[in-house]
Amino acid sequence: MQSRKKIRTKTSLRVLQVCIIILGLIILGRLFQLQILDYDTYNPLSRENSLRQEVINPARGLIYDRNGNLIVDNQPIYTITVTPASYDPKNTPILAELMDVPVEEVEKRVQEARDYSYYRSSRIFTEVDFETFSIIQESIWQLPGVGHQIESKRDYPVDSLQASHILGYLREVSKDEYLRTKSYHLGDKTGKSGLEMAYEEQLRGTLGTEYIKINAMGQNLGSYQDGALDESPKKGSDLYTTIDTELQLLAEDLMQGKQGAVVALNPENGAVLSMVSAPEYDIRKLSGRLDKTYWDSINADTTNPLYNRAVSGKQPPGSTFKPLMALMGLELGIITPETEINNPGYYYRGRRYNDLADPGKYDVGKALQESSNTFFFWLMDKIATQKGLDKWHELATSFGLGEHNNIDIPNEVAGTIPDSTFLNRVLGEGKWGIGDQLSLGVGQGFVAVSPLQMALVAAQIGNGGYKVQPHFVSAIRQNDGTMLLTNPKKGKIDWIDPDEIAVVKDGMRRVVTEGSGRYYADLDSVKVAGKTGTAQNPHGQDHGWFISFAPVEDPKIAVAVLVENGGYGSISAAPIASLLIEQYLTGEIDRSYVYNYVKTFEPKKQKTDEEEENIDDQSQGT
Question: Which residues of this chain interact with other proteins, rule CB under 8 A?
Answer: 5, 8-10, 12-13, 15-17, 20-21, 23-24, 26-28, 30-32, 34-36, 38-39, 41-43, 45-47, 49-50, 86, 117-120, 144, 213-217, 219, 221
Query: Least distance (Å) from other proteins to the CB of residue 114?
Result: 11
The answer to whether the beta carbons of residues 549 and 462 sit under 8 Å apart is yes
Whole-number Å distance between alpha carbons of 387 and 225 = 78
Closest to other proteins by CB, 112 or 301: 112
Report yes or no: 259 and 304 within 8 Å, Cβ to Cβ.
no
Of 15 and 426, CB closest to other proteins: 15
252 φ/ψ angles, rounded to the nearest 5 degrees: -65, -40
Residues sharing a CB contact under 8 Å with residue 64, sequence separation 6 or more, in sequence order: 70, 71, 238, 239, 240, 241
Q: Tell which residue, 404, 548, 554, has the closest CA to residue 469.
A: 404
- DSSP lists the bridge partners of residue 274 as 264
Quote the least distance from Cβ 304 to other proteins, whole Å: 43
End-to-end Cα spacing for the chain: 129
Contacts of 591 (CB under 8 A, 6+ apart): 523, 579, 582
Q: How much is the CA Rg of the chain, to the nearest whole Å?
A: 35
| Cα–Cα dist 98/140, whole Å | 11
| Of 8 and 185, CB closest to other proteins | 8
Residue 264: which residues within 8 A CB-CB, separation 6 or more?
A: 244, 247, 251, 272, 273, 274, 275, 455, 557, 558, 559, 580, 584
CA distance 565 to 344: 30
Rank residues 219 and 304 by Cβ distance to other proteins and give the closer one: 219
Instruction: Find all residues with CB under 8 Å of 106, minimum gap 6, and list them.
Output: 92, 95, 96, 99, 124
CB 187 to other proteins: min, Å: 18
**Whose Cβ is closer to other proteins: residue 34's or residue 434's?**
34
Comparing CB distances to other proteins, the nearer of 187 and 359 is 187
Contact 267, 549 (CB under 8 A): yes
Nearer to other proteins, 46 or 293 (CB): 46
CB of 306 to other proteins, least distance (A): 38
Instruction: Give the residues across from 485 on adjacent strands.
Output: 475
The CB-of-220 to other proteins minimum distance in angstroms stands at 11
The residues that bridge with 189 in the sheet, in sequence order, are: 172
Contacts of 441 (CB under 8 A, 6+ apart): 321, 325, 376, 377, 379, 380, 381, 383
Whose Cβ is closer to other proteins: residue 111's or residue 117's? Answer: 117
Closest to other proteins by CB, 21 vs 485, is 21
> Minimum distance from CB of 215 to other proteins (Å)?
4
Residue 228: CB minimum distance to other proteins, A: 18
CA–CA separation, 279 and 304 (whole Å): 8
Give the C-alpha separation, 484 to 268, whole Å. Answer: 20
**In 10 A of CB 299, how many CB atoms?**
11
- To other proteins, the closest distance from the beta carbon of 83 in angstroms equals 12
Task: Give the residue with the Cβ less far from other proteins, 10 or 289.
Answer: 10
Least gap, CB of 145 to other proteins (angstroms): 11
Q: Which of 119, 348 has the CB closer to other proteins?
A: 119
State which residue, 150 or 228, has the beta carbon closest to other proteins.
228
Distance CA 341, CA 380 (A): 14
* Least Cβ distance, residue 101 to other proteins (angstroms): 27
- DSSP H helices, 332-450, are 364-370, 373-382, 389-397, 420-427, 434-438
CB of 52 to other proteins, least distance (A): 11
How far is CA 155 from each of CA 24, 162, 361, rounded to the nearest angstrom? 66, 11, 59
Cβ 46 to other proteins, closest distance in Å? 4
Q: Which is nearer to other proteins, 119 or 130 (CB)?
A: 119
Tell me how far, at minimum, the Cβ of 295 lies from other proteins, in Å. 31
Specify the 3-state DSSP secondary structure of 132: helix
